[in-house]
């Protein structure tokens, strides 16, 4: 049985109003291209893990000319919306969308040249399990590439970060943030021997404050209409808390590239 979406349609529409059509996290198409800049995509068989509303799959298959993209997600409603995103881009022939269950992936060993995911691992508590599955479905010379939210360390976290986590919990959203150190250890235990992290927190914080200006400015009427006054206030507060947590260093946004142990870079 697929999972029910954590986001209402009004919230999904509001996130796309801020992040762009097909996206549930900031950065849009340009960030996708930046994340995979050192990875061969053209002609490759790519898994977009946790594809959400399809924005990244469209960039990978369209702008970056992947041979074929499989977009997988556990939420049926997200995939329904993703189908509209894919069809609108005229990429039905290059993108396959798959509804999957949490847990082992329904793909054979060594299926994909590239596995891509963005802001997805933070939703999964069993990080060793999901990274082990990524390693399994990658070809021996394949690449795991993406970006995700992490904590700045294992120490006591700042008030700004705690406000961010509280806002997410109050909205009924499930996240499992872990430190960069923890991620590095889990990548290694999953069989990845060549892992590079790039801290993109500073530009992400700048973008977050810029988006916050839009949320509290030009976008406010549309967001209040979609979410109601209380919903808008909570949405805006979460945005401010995220930007402040990034500024504090206790919330980080990291790009990563990983290859299986023993694979030449």
pLDDT at residue 4 greater than cutoff 60: no
pLDDT at residue 151 greater than cutoff 80: yes
Residue 172: per-residue pLDDT = 86
d(CA 202, CA 189): 29
Look at the chain and count its residues. Answer: 265
Residue 265: per-residue pLDDT = 59
pLDDT tens, residue by residue, 120-129? 999 999 999 9
- Domains assigned to the chain: 9-254 (3.40.50.150)
pLDDT at residue 3 greater than cutoff 60: no
- Between 220-248 and 9-19, two packed helices, what is the crossing angle to 10 degrees? 70
As given in the structure block, the two tokens for residue 249 are: 């260093």
Mean of pLDDT over the chain: 91
Residue 24: per-residue pLDDT = 74
pLDDT at residue 65 greater than cutoff 80: yes
Among 21-25, 98-102, 104-108, 172-176, the least confident range: 21-25
The residue among 32 and 265 whose pLDDT is bigger is: 32
Q: Do the beta carbons of residue 258 and residue 187 sit within 8 Å? A: yes
Taking residues 112-120, report their average pLDDT.
Answer: 96
Beta strands 112-118 and 45-49 are parallel
Among 152-161, 183-192, 197-206, 219-228, the least confident range: 152-161
Burial (CB count <10 Å: 0-12, 13-18, 19+), residue 72? buried
Of the candidates 209, 255, 215, 253, the residue with the CA atom closest to the CA atom of residue 231: 215
d(CA 232, CA 238): 10
pLDDT at residue 20 greater than cutoff 80: no
pLDDT at residue 17 greater than cutoff 80: no
Residue 1: per-residue pLDDT = 35
As given in the structure block, the two tokens for residue 251 are: 């919330």
Q: Do the beta carbons of residue 98 and residue 72 sit within 8 Å? A: yes
Taking residues 177-202, report their average pLDDT.
Answer: 94
Residue 112: per-residue pLDDT = 98
Among 21-25, 54-58, 104-108, 174-178, the least confident range: 21-25
pLDDT at residue 215 greater than cutoff 80: yes
pLDDT at residue 51 greater than cutoff 90: yes
Please spell the DSSP secondary structure of 116-153, one letter per residue: EEES-GGG-S-HHHHHHHHHHHEEEEEEEEEEEEEES-
| DSSP summary character for residue 6 | S
pLDDT at residue 149 greater than cutoff 70: yes
pLDDT at residue 178 greater than cutoff 90: yes
Residue 263: per-residue pLDDT = 66
d(CA 220, CA 236): 9
pLDDT at residue 2 greater than cutoff 50: no
């Amino acid at each position: 049985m697929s999972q029910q979406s954590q986001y209402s349609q009004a919230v999904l529409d509001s996130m796309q109003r801020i992040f762009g059509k097909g996206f549930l996290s900031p950065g849009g198409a340009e960030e996708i291209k930046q994340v995979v800049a050192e990875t061969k995509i053209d002609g490759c068989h790519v898994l977009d893990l946790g594809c959400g509303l399809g924005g990244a799959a469209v960039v990978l298959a369209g702008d970056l000319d992947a041979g074929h993209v499989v977009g997988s997600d556990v939420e049926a409603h997200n995939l329904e919306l993703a189908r509209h995103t894919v069809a609108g881009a005229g990429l039905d022939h290059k993108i396959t969308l798959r509804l999957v269950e949490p847990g082992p992936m329904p793909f054979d060993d060594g299926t994909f040249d590239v596995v891509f995911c963005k802001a997805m691992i933070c939703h999964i508590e069993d990080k060793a399990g999901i990274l082990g599955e990524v390693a399994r479905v990658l070809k021996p010379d394949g690449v795991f590439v993406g970006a995700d939210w992490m904590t700045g360390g294992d120490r006591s976290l700042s008030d700004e970060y705690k406000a961010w986590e509280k806002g997410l919990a109050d909205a009924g959203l499930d996240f499992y943030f872990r430190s960069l150190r923890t991620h590095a250890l889990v990548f290694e235990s999953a069989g990845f021997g060549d892992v590079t992290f790039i801290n993109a927190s500073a530009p992400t914080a700048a973008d977050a404050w810029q988006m916050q200006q839009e949320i509290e400015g030009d976008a406010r009427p549309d967001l209040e209409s979609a979410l109601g006054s209380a919903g808008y206030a909570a949405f805006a507060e979460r945005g401010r808390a995220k930007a402040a947590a990034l500024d504090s260093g206790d919330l980080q946004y990291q790009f990563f590239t990983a290859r299986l142990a023993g694979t030449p870079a």
